[in-house]
Structure 1
Amino acid sequence: MPTESSQLLGRILPFIRERGYTAGERIPSERELAERFGVSRGLLRETLSTLETLRVVERRPQSGIYLRDVAREASLDMLVIESDLGMPVSPADVKDLNEFRSMLEVQSVRLACSRRTDADLAQIDEVLATSRARLAAGQSLSAEDARFHIALCAASGNKLIQRAANSFWLASRARRERYFDDPANARRSLAQHTALRDAVAAGDTTRAMDILGDHLGNVERFWMAQVGPDAGGAATSPGIAPR
C-alpha cells in the first residue's frame, strides 16, 4: 500500500511538471505547498527530503526550494519513481532509455563472455527453465525477462553495472508487461535469450553481440512504434524542457 509520502510525491511531481518550472527556478515554499496539497508540514518535509535525495530539488536555508537540473542531475531511481507513478514517457525518453539499456547490456555481455562462472550460468538456466514453463502455460514472461537480463548483467562481475541494470528494469516494469502481452514477443524473446546464453557460455563474443543486437533492435522498434517516430516530443520529467 502506498505511503502518505509516496502519494504526496505522486501529486507534487506532476504539479512541478505542469507548471513548467525550469532548472534553478524557485518553486513554492513549504507553507504554500502544504496548503496547496492539504497536508501537514511534517509530511511535506518528509516528501521534500525524498526529492532532495533523488536530486530533484534543493532546499537552500533562508532562501527557499529550487528545482535542480533534473535531466543531468537526478538519480536513476527517479526513473523508478516516475514509472511507479504511471507518468508517461515521450519518444525522446524512450530513445534515451533504449540507448542506456544498450550501453549497459553490450558491455555486460562482453564481460560475461570472459567472466561468467558456473554459478552465473546456473542462475541463467534456472530463469530460462521457468520462462519455458510459463510460456507453455500461456503466462507472461515480463518478470522472467527482467530476471534474465539482471542475471546476464550479474555475469559481468561488475557491481555498478548490476546496480544500474536493476534500476533500469524496475523502471521498465509497466512497459515490459505491455510488451509481453503479445505471445509472439514472448516466443521470440525466449529463443533469443536461449541463444544468447549459449553464446556467453561458449565465450563467443561475436555471436553474442549479433544476438544481442537483434534482441535490442526488436524491442526498440516496438517501443518507437508505440510512441511515434518523433524523438523530439515533450519530455515528461519535471523541469526538462522539450527536446
Structure 2
Amino acid sequence: MTAETKFPGTDAPIVRKKLSDQVFERLWTMIQTGELSPGDTMPSERALMERFGVGRPAVREALQSMANKGLISISHGERSKVNKLTPGIAFDQVNDIAKLLLSTEPSNIENLKQLRKILEAGSVQITAQSCTAEEIVELRELVEAQRSKLGQERAFIEADIAFHVAIARMTGNPLIQAVTQAMLSWLSEYYKPVLHWSGRENTTLLEHSKIVDLLESHDVSAAVTMMGDHLGRSDPLYEAS
C-alpha cells in the first residue's frame, strides 16, 4: 500500500456523538442482550449517571428518546419500565413518515389500496380455513356494533377498521394484524364518501355479513372473492384531495 492509498470514507470528518446518543446506544444494547427485559424497571437516573459517567441531562434525553421509540414507558412519579416489543410499536415508528409519503405523493394512495387488496385477500383466506365459532360470534358482534354507528361517519369508519383488523388478527399472525391496522389508519384520512354514492353504509354492512357467513362455512374461495368485490366497491371512496 502506497502513501497515496486512501480508504473510502476515511477523509470524512469525525463527528463526536452527543452524550445522550451514547447513553441511548448503551441502553439499546442492554435491551438487545437481555440485561433489560420486557417488564423490567429501568435503573434510576442516578444509577445510570454513575454507570456511564454522564450528567442527568444526558440520561434524561436518552430515556426520552427510548420512550419516543416505544422501547420504554415513562410514568410521572414512577421509574420507567421496559416495554414488550410488538409489530404495532414498530409500525408506530413509521406512522408519520407514511402519512407524509401519502400526502406528498398522491399516487401512493393507489399503491396502498392495491396492497390492501393483496393483504386482505390473504387474511380472509387464512381465517376462512381456521376460524372458530367464538370468532364468528365476535365478527357478528362487530357488524352489529358498526350498524349502531349508522349516520356517524367517523365512528362508522372506525368500526369498519375494527372489523377488518379482527379478520387480520384471526390469522394468528401479529405482523399481518399490525400492517392491516396501520394501512387502514393511513387510508382512513382519505375517505370521501359524500362525493360518490349514498346508501354506502348499508351496502358495507350487508357485505360484511356475507363475509362472516362465508368464513363460518369455511368457504375459502368464496370468501376471498367476496372480500375482493367488497374492497373493489369501496376503492373509489378513498382518494387524494
* Pairing 1:100–2:115 present: yes
- Give the counterpart of 1:139 among 117, 136, 152: 152
TM-score scaled to structure 2, two decimals?
Answer: 0.56
CA contact (8 A) 1:76 1:164 kept: yes
Amino acid across the alignment from 2:219: D
C-alpha distance in 2, partners of 1:172/1:91? 11
Q: 1:89 to 1:216 in 2, by over 3 A?
A: farther
User: How far is the alpha carbon of 1:217 from its aligned partner?
Assistant: 1.0
* Pairing 1:164–2:179 present: yes
2:236 aligned partner: 221
CA contact (8 A) 1:116 1:157 kept: no
Q: Deviations over 1:47-88 (max 9, x none)?
A: xx69x969xxxxxxxxxxxxxxxxxxxx74465324777962
- Give the counterpart of 2:201 among 173, 186, 200: 186
CA contact (8 A) 1:80 1:170 kept: no
Q: Of the two structures, which has the highest relative contact order with CA contacts closer than 8 Å and spacing of 6 or more? A: 1
Q: What secondary structure is seen at the aligned counterpart in 2 of 1:93?
A: helix
1:58 aligned partner: none
Q: What secondary structure is seen at the aligned counterpart in 2 of 1:175?
A: coil
C-alpha distance in 2, partners of 1:79/1:183? 35
Q: Deviations over 1:7-50 (max 9, x none)?
A: xxxxxxxxxxxxxxxxxxxxxxx9xxxxxxxxxx98xx88xx69
C-alpha distance in 2, partners of 1:134/1:168? 22
C-alpha distance in 2, partners of 1:200/1:112? 7
Amino acid across the alignment from 2:157: S
CA contact (8 A) 1:117 1:155 kept: no
* Pairing 1:204–2:208 present: no
C-alpha distance in 2, partners of 1:156/1:133? 26
The 5 A counterparts of 1:47-196 are 76-77=91-92, 80-82=95-97, 88=103, 90-135=105-150, 138-140=151-153, 141-176=156-191, 178-179=192-193, 183-196=198-211
Q: What secondary structure is seen at the aligned counterpart in 2 of 1:188?
A: helix
C-alpha distance in 2, partners of 1:201/1:208? 10
C-alpha distance in 1, partners of 2:187/2:168? 16
Amino acid across the alignment from 2:210: A
Q: 1:227 to 1:170 in 2, by over 3 A?
A: closer
User: How many residues of Structure 1 are paired with residues of Structure 2 in the alignment?
Assistant: 167
Q: 1:196 to 1:78 in 2, by over 3 A?
A: same
Mark the runs of 5 or more structure 2 residues left unpaired by the alignment. Answer: 1-16, 18-56, 71-89
Q: 1:180 to 1:117 in 2, by over 3 A?
A: farther
Q: Which consecutive aligned stretches of 4+ in structure 1 deviate over 6 angstroms post-superposition? A: 83-87
C-alpha distance in 2, partners of 1:89/1:212? 29
1:62 aligned partner: none
User: How far is the alpha carbon of 1:122 from its aligned partner?
Assistant: 2.0
CA contact (8 A) 1:199 1:208 kept: yes
Mark the runs of 5 or more structure 1 residues left unpaired by the alignment. Answer: 1-29, 31-40, 55-74, 229-243
Q: 1:162 to 1:82 in 2, by over 3 A?
A: same
Q: 1:106 to 1:126 in 2, by over 3 A?
A: same
TM-score scaled to structure 1, two decimals?
Answer: 0.55
User: How far is the alpha carbon of 1:161 from its aligned partner?
Assistant: 1.0
Q: 1:93 to 1:134 in 2, by over 3 A?
A: same
Q: 1:85 to 1:94 in 2, by over 3 A?
A: closer
